[in-house]
Amino acid sequence: MTSNPTRTVFHIKWDRHQLEIGRRTLVMGILNVTPDSFSDGGKFFALEKAIAHGQKLVEDGADILDIGGESTRPFSEEIKEEEEIRRVVPIIEHLAKRVNIPISIDTTKSGVARRALDAGASIINDVGALRMDPALARLAAQRRVPVILMHMKGVPGTMQVNPHYDDLVGEIKGFLSERIHFAIQEGIEKSKIIIDPGIGFGKTVDHNLQLIRDLNLFCDLHVPILIGPSRKAFIRNTLKTHFGEEFSSAKPQVETGTQAIVSASILNGAHIVRVHDVANTVVTVKMIDAVRA
């Protein structure tokens, strides 16, 4: 492992937004508007609570706000497009008028993304890497918005059923390289592409830990790297192995574990970290960026 690899600085400018990515680590705050997400399902399902929490994430220092209306936890089931739109669009409409940072829509569906962009979102975060809906790539190209392409083995309903790789990093890197090429062919500018190796999406505990350790190997794809380890099962399972007890996502030890993984990710080249607890992560990011500098 190469420690503290040089991190390229990227500039993304679009619409009324611009992001300088890499000079410092950016923090993406998670706002799940779902009744069943693994960490905060149902907590911000009501409109008023979701808007208040979104504003708090911005006040805590988020650089990007990521809003999703469909759970992608292991073994989750897909919901209808109309329901996903009903969950996210009113919240985006309200928050877009109140916050100045970019809002990302976490969806695999072009119909949801279109309505979200119309409501004020300005980034598409697709866990399917533009594979699940052929129209999503065309929409991103037409609107000239940044896209986040994530690796997932299978679909949420099956991704954690005995995931296997002959060459973990090589296979994921090859997949992301192909999806970058596809996106460019569809008219999306490479300067607007961000990749996510998909921590927890079709990976075992060991797979996730290896990806964090070897994250620097993705740097030569020459796009920003986003990592989303927040409170995920591999952290809870690692703690269970060590301490011999179950850890729910709400336990403080799990957030401590998240901050440790965030630190390792930044030291190994991550440009953006996607988290639930923005306030704590901002402190972690400032300290680790200081070490890097």
Instruction: Please indicate, yes or no, if residue 14 is contained in any of the structural domains.
Output: no
How confident is the model over 208-231, as a mean pLDDT?
97
Instruction: Please indicate, yes or no, if residue 211 is contained in any of the structural domains.
Output: yes
How confident is the model over 173-184, as a mean pLDDT?
98
Secondary structure (DSSP) of 1-18: --SS-----EEEEETTEE
Instruction: Please indicate, yes or no, if residue 127 is contained in any of the structural domains.
Output: yes
DSSP 186: T
CATH of the domain at 210: 3.20.20.20
**For position 73, what pLDDT does the model report?**
63
The span from the CA of 129 to the CA of 119, in Å, is 22
Instruction: Please indicate, yes or no, if residue 13 is contained in any of the structural domains.
Output: no
**For position 129, what pLDDT does the model report?**
97
**For position 249, what pLDDT does the model report?**
85
**For position 75, what pLDDT does the model report?**
58
**For position 16, what pLDDT does the model report?**
92
Active site residue 232: yes
Confidence of residue 1 (pLDDT cuts 50, 70, 90): very low
**For position 38, what pLDDT does the model report?**
44
**For position 76, what pLDDT does the model report?**
54
Number of domains observed in the structure of the chain? 1
Long-range contacts made by residues 258-261, C-beta under 8 angstroms, separation at least 24?
Answer: 258/229, 258/230, 258/231, 259/284, 261/212, 261/229, 261/235
Backbone phi and psi for residue 66, each to the nearest 5 degrees, phi listed first = -105, 115
Confidence of residue 42 (pLDDT cuts 50, 70, 90): very low
Active site residue 109: no
Instruction: Please indicate, yes or no, if residue 285 is contained in any of the structural domains.
Output: yes
Alpha helices in 13-158 (DSSP H): 47-59, 81-96, 110-119, 134-143
How confident is the model over 173-186, as a mean pLDDT?
98
Instruction: Please indicate, yes or no, if residue 46 is contained in any of the structural domains.
Output: yes
Residue 46 pLDDT more than 90?
no
Q: Mean pLDDT, the chain, as a whole number?
A: 91
For residue 76, the enclosing domain spans: 22-292
**pLDDT tens digits, one per residue of 254-285:** 999 999 999 999 999 999 999 999 999 999 99
Closest CA to 95 of 150, 31, 159: 31
**For position 4, what pLDDT does the model report?**
62
Residue 189 pLDDT more than 70?
yes
Q: Model pTM greater than 0.95?
A: no
Instruction: Single out the catalytic residue among 7, 87, 232, 236.
Output: 232
Instruction: Please indicate, yes or no, if residue 8 is contained in any of the structural domains.
Output: no
Percent with pLDDT over 90 in the chain: 80
Instruction: Please indicate, yes or no, if residue 3 is contained in any of the structural domains.
Output: no
The span from the CA of 235 to the CA of 233, in Å, is 5
Instruction: Single out the catalytic residue among 87, 173, 231, 274.
Output: 274
The span from the CA of 111 to the CA of 252, in Å, is 38
How confident is the model over 21-29, as a mean pLDDT?
97
Looking only at the bridges linking them, the beta strands covering 17-21 and 10-14 are: antiparallel
